[in-house]
Amino acid sequence: MARRRRGYKDFGILNAQEILCRIRMGGQKERERLRSIADDVCPELAFQLYFSILTGSSYEYMCQRKYIPLDRAAFYRYRQEIISKWAQGAQGEKK
């Protein structure tokens, strides 16, 4: 049985573009937190995922630059998980 693809709404993120904008425009503290989350989620590809989120680079672009031992769907699942954890942490800091 096929499973439905999970989106940002499944992680409680209603506006993903706003979150990505906050990450990219944020300061050093936000970037360090993003990097530590990437290290926790997927240590082998932490830098590639971190770079992809910060620059908005696609999986295809990243594969042209460096070999990524994941398929496209797995890469974006990891990327989505990192963004959702960052957003959950940012919401926790507001309260």
17: pLDDT confidence band, cut at 50, 70 and 90?
Answer: confident
pLDDT attached to residue 72: 92
In angstroms, what is the C-alpha Rg of the chain? 13
> Region 18-24: what's the mean pLDDT?
79
pTM for this one? 0.77
